[in-house]
Chain A
Amino acid sequence: IVLTQSPGTLSLSPGERATLSCRASQTITSTFLAWYRHKPGQAPRLLIYGATSRATGIPDRFSGSGSGTDFTLTISRLQPEDFATYYCQQYASLPRTFGQGTKVEIK
């Protein structure tokens, strides 16, 4: 399954809302889709799994939605630590695949 993320780069200010898209080349069964935040020099961090469930310790400004082939990650109010690259990942079929990433940068 090929995952295509858009936009490639999102330029926003702290406090603004970010909407990131992940489109799959075929239906992802059982909403087996996850989102990660990856900051330079750090390990990625799991944000969302099952398309909508927040991982342990993830604040409620992060929310996931979608089903089938179209999924969205929304960050309601960007904090300084949220400026990073975000990846979606599907685990409905092998091989597990990631999208190419969306970079959220400070405007």
Chain B
Amino acid sequence: KAGVTQTPRYLIKTRGQQVTLSCSPISGHRSVSWYQQTPGQGLQFLFEYFSETQRNKGNFPGRFSGRQFSNSRSEMNVSTLELGDSALYLCASRTVSNNEQFFGPGTRLTVL
């Protein structure tokens, strides 16, 4: 079974730009969560989507948004990029009844 895939793997942007990251969950997984990982703050929860609805949101500004499509694929968008947004953005998927989340390889975003 194919794992969680994320595209692109690496991205370089400049301050003020916006970016869209994509995540394809494991086949049959309908829940997708997004996390930000930085050396200083570690892994922090951004939001979770299930059946195209946002279920929960972490403590991030409104510049961070996401959506989920009917095929369970998800995108997250960051507008008006800041230097502090440089991080590894991880996507994780799970089945409806399971607690275990399986992570993708991440997208490394660098903001210059």
Asked whether A and B interact, the reply is: no
